[in-house]
Amino acid sequence: MSSTIKSPWLIHYDASSCNGCDIEVLACLTPMYDVERFGIINTGNPKHADIFLVTGSVNERNISVVRQIYEQMLEPKVVIACGICACSGGIFKECYNTLGGVDVAIPVDVYAPGCAVRPEAIIDAVVCGLGVLEEKRAALAAGELPPAELPELPTAADKQLDGVSVRDAAAAELHAEIRDE
Amino acid sequence: MSQRTIIPFGPQHPVLPEPMHLDLVIEDERVVEAIPQVGFIHRGLEKLVTKKDYTQFVLVTERICGICSFGHSLGYSETVEALMGIEVPPRAEFLRVIWHELSRIHSHILWMGLLADGFGYENLFMQCWRLREQVLDILEATTGGRVILTACNVGGVEQDIENGELNGICQTLDGLRGEYNQLLKTFLKDKSVRHRLVGVGYLSEADARAAGTVGPFARASNIPEDIRSLGFGAYAALSGFEPITSKDGDGYARCEVRALEVLQSIDIIKELAEKIPDGAINQKVKGAPEDGSYAVSRLEQPRGECFYFAKGNGTKFLERFRIRTPTSQNIPGMVQTLQGCDLADVPLNVLTIDPCISCTER
Ligand code: SF4
């Protein structure tokens, strides 16, 4: 076991969460659950962080912010999706402005489900993430860590509404209009 | 001549639990103008009324915001009940208000913690959040959820709180009051706290009215407006209700108003727990809202007045549902307080209005 995983620092970003999961992430850091006793510190600086906790689903506006924070973090790094919104889009999946879970923007290592995610589940996910962090660290030391594969960022036009993408629906509407004329 | 610079603030920023972006135009260390940008959390959930029927939609409204979650489900249920002319059993009305006030206590203590963190008093932040867990324990014991409660539904409430349990809650709250009073002393009397808050972000009564502010933000500028004093639901059963106000209009006043409201909420819960009538907790709902019918309702959320509008179209799906949230009302006032403040006070100024961005953008 290396020193990296004995005191992992984390950064938290609220993509488009309803706050429910955010306050549970904060609750983990405060006296009741107190993850600071494990050496975990919440930082605001991506360059300092080993673990990236994301709550909430991504939308057109914040998808690039999520990506930027991820890219600024140094290897080895682990991404944890907190809450069902971050895992898949959850209850807001069908909303016009929700592109999906965090994994459409960046690779996710651990999924912590729940709505709102319980602090126990977050701690569990972080412990799970530490294993991944250790693996990545060893691979990095051996020079075998492949560069992360970043998916292409979708835009609001790619959003599937009732089985058709917004772009296709708009194009079909335009065609129909031209045909009618 | 000093030079003008624009500093971006947010969306990811250590003092902001939620993403919000401000373009700060500064001259030396002084803010000349602040231009807010929103949209980071917009999900478009009002449109979901076309996909979820009116009884299911209460689950979506709970997730507008995780802090005032119960309030939103209450506001939505009241609107739909008004739309369909449903009579809610009195016991359910009382339980709703008890949960709503518990949410207010947890929201205000949470905010006080964030404020303490904002002015650099880490210990106080931790103490506030430790205390808040006691309220969350009550919520968990009575509903099963810590932040998302799923306790309210159209026609009443999901589960009952036994009278014996209500007594237990009152005892817990009495214990909490003792500990809370100690914190209160630090918040209101401590020299370093006063030093950071007094005079910061001043907003006069006239400006607060002109900017249309609501909630504790307005009450701290001496505007005694509180929807609870209109006596909706079980608030009518209270022997008296006076909104808490302050004349100073600065950060300290806002802290004071919220801090005292916690004690007021404890009193409300205790009074209602004594007066609560026995009986059913739920009214069966049948049918659908009539075509063309519409209803509005207002509610005092922890952050201020919230307005709900619903329109029916004869089916189980609402035609339109709209919410006007307190923070969207308070942003113009916040921008005013930012003009002319020091750059170092910006985080504190933003915090003192208790912004809830996920309500605002939905
Ligand atoms: S998972 Fe639930 S509590 Fe968490 S952000 Fe989504 S809706 Fe809110």
Confidence band for B3, pLDDT divided at 50, 70 and 90: confident
Enumerate long-range contacts of B223-230, CB under 8 Å, 24 or more apart. Answer: B225/B305, B226/B300, B227/B298, B227/B299, B227/B300, B227/B305, B228/B300, B230/B298
* Cα(B33)–Cα(B136) distance, integer angstroms: 39
Per the structure, the count of domains in chain B is: 1
Gyration radius (Cα) of chain B, Å: 21
Q: Are residues A143 and A100 in the same domain?
A: yes
Q: Are residues A138 and A74 in the same domain?
A: yes
Q: Are residues A144 and A162 in the same domain?
A: no
- The mean pLDDT value for B231-258 works out to 83
Which runs of E-coded beta strand occur in chain A? 9-14, 41-42, 51-55, 78-82, 110-112, 160-161, 164-165
In a domain, B361, yes or no: no
* Residues B350 and B16: beta-carbon distance below 8 Å: yes
Strand A51-55, strand A9-14: pairing? parallel
Q: How far is the CA of B68 from the centre of ligand 1 (A)?
A: 13
The Cα of B240 is separated from the nearest Cα of chain A by a number of Å equal to 33
In a domain, A1, yes or no: no
Q: Which of B48, B69, B133 sits opposite A94 (nearest CB)?
A: B48
Which residues of A fall within a CB distance of 8 Å from B48? 92, 94-95
- The mean pLDDT value for A132-148 works out to 81
Confidence band for B250, pLDDT divided at 50, 70 and 90: confident
* Cα(A181)–Cα(A69) distance, integer angstroms: 49
Q: Do A18 and B65 touch (CB under 8 A)?
A: yes
| Encoded tokens for B138 | 């009550």
Please give the number of the atom of ligand 1 that sits closest to the Cα of A21.
4
Percent of chain A with pLDDT over 90: 1
Q: Which of A18, A44, A97 sits opposite B66 (nearest CB)?
A: A18
The Cα of B140 is separated from the nearest Cα of chain A by a number of Å equal to 11
Q: Are residues A90 and A127 in the same domain?
A: yes
Q: Which of A21, A22, A23 to mutate against chain B (most B CBs within 10 Å)?
A: A23
Q: Quick one: pLDDT at residue B122? A: 84
Q: Do A62 and B41 touch (CB under 8 A)?
A: yes
* Cα(A81)–Cα(A111) distance, integer angstroms: 5
Range of the domain at A179: 153-181
In a domain, A175, yes or no: yes
At B202-242, the pLDDT tens digits run 888 888 888 888 888 888 888 888 888 887 777 877 787 88
Smallest Cα–Cα separation from B283: which of B81, B118, B134, B131?
B81
Does B14 score more than 70 pLDDT?
A: no
In a domain, A4, yes or no: no
Please give the number of the atom of ligand 1 that sits closest to the Cα of A17.
5
CATH of the domain at A139: 3.40.50.12280
Q: Which of B129, B133, B148 sits opposite A116 (nearest CB)?
A: B148
Please give the number of the atom of ligand 1 that sits closest to the Cα of A83.
1
At B63-111, the pLDDT tens digits run 888 888 888 888 888 888 888 888 888 888 888 888 898 889 988 998 8
In a domain, B156, yes or no: yes
- The mean pLDDT value for A4-28 works out to 83
In a domain, A3, yes or no: no
Q: Are residues A101 and A176 in the same domain?
A: no
**Closest residue, chain B, to A46 (C-alpha):** B12
Confidence band for B159, pLDDT divided at 50, 70 and 90: confident
Q: Are residues A33 and A114 in the same domain?
A: yes
Q: Is B123 on the interface with A (CB under 8 A)?
A: no
Which helix or strand (DSSP H or E) is residue B1 part of? none
The whole-angstrom distance between residue A154's C-alpha and the CA centroid of its chain comes to: 15
Give the number of other Cβ atoms within 10 Å of residue A138's Cβ: 14
At B22-54, the pLDDT tens digits run 888 888 878 888 888 777 778 878 878 778 888
Question: Residue B332: is it exposed, middle or buried by C-beta count within 10 angstroms (0-12/13-18/19+)?
Answer: middle
In a domain, B77, yes or no: yes
Q: HSE of A144 in the Cβ direction (CA atoms, 13 Å)?
A: 5
Confidence band for A41, pLDDT divided at 50, 70 and 90: confident
Q: Which of B18, B42, B110, B325 to mutate against chain A (most A CBs within 10 Å)?
A: B42
Q: Is B131 on the interface with A (CB under 8 A)?
A: no
A101 lines ligand 1 (CB under 6 A): no
Q: Are residues A128 and A48 in the same domain?
A: yes
**B176-190, B279-293, B346-360: which has the highest mean pLDDT?**
B176-190
Q: How far is the CA of A13 from the centre of ligand 1 (A)?
A: 14
- The mean pLDDT value for B140-149 works out to 85
Q: Quick one: pLDDT at residue A176? A: 85
A20 lines ligand 1 (CB under 6 A): yes
Gyration radius (Cα) of chain A, Å: 19
The Cα of B59 is separated from the nearest Cα of chain A by a number of Å equal to 9
**Closest residue, chain B, to A55 (C-alpha):** B18
Q: Are residues A35 and A103 in the same domain?
A: yes
In chain A, which residues touch B (CB < 8 A)? 13-24, 26-27, 30-32, 43-44, 56-57, 59, 61-62, 65, 69, 91-92, 94-98, 115-116, 118
Mean pLDDT, chain A, whole residue set: 83
Q: Is B30 on the interface with A (CB under 8 A)?
A: no
Helix axes B122-143, B163-189, angle to 10 degrees: 170
Q: Are residues A138 and A157 in the same domain?
A: no
- The mean pLDDT value for A75-93 works out to 86
Chains A and B: how many Cβ contacts under 8 Å? Answer: 120
Q: Is B165 on the interface with A (CB under 8 A)?
A: no
Nearest CA residue ID for atom 8, ligand 1: A18
Per the structure, the count of domains in chain A is: 2
**Closest residue, chain A, to B359 (C-alpha):** A18
Mean pLDDT, chain B, whole residue set: 84
A128 lines ligand 1 (CB under 6 A): no
Which residues of B fall within a CB distance of 8 Å from A37? none
Please state which of the ranges B100-104, B170-174, B237-241, B325-329 shows the lowest mean pLDDT: B237-241
The Cα of A62 is separated from the nearest Cα of chain B by a number of Å equal to 5
Smallest Cα–Cα separation from B44: which of B284, B273, B358?
B358
CATH of the domain at B293: 1.10.645.10
Does A1 score more than 60 pLDDT?
A: no
Range of the domain at B271: 43-342
* Cα(B79)–Cα(A43) distance, integer angstroms: 42
A89 lines ligand 1 (CB under 6 A): no
- The mean pLDDT value for A45-70 works out to 86
Q: Quick one: pLDDT at residue B34? A: 81
Q: Are residues A107 and A120 in the same domain?
A: yes
* Cα(B290)–Cα(B313) distance, integer angstroms: 6
Q: Quick one: pLDDT at residue A9? A: 86
Nearest CA residue ID for atom 3, ligand 1: A116
Q: Quick one: pLDDT at residue A133? A: 85
Q: Are residues A127 and A179 in the same domain?
A: no
A55 lines ligand 1 (CB under 6 A): yes
Q: Quick one: pLDDT at residue B15? A: 65
In a domain, A50, yes or no: yes
Smallest Cα–Cα separation from B281: which of B98, B95, B62?
B95
Q: Are residues A118 and A144 in the same domain?
A: yes
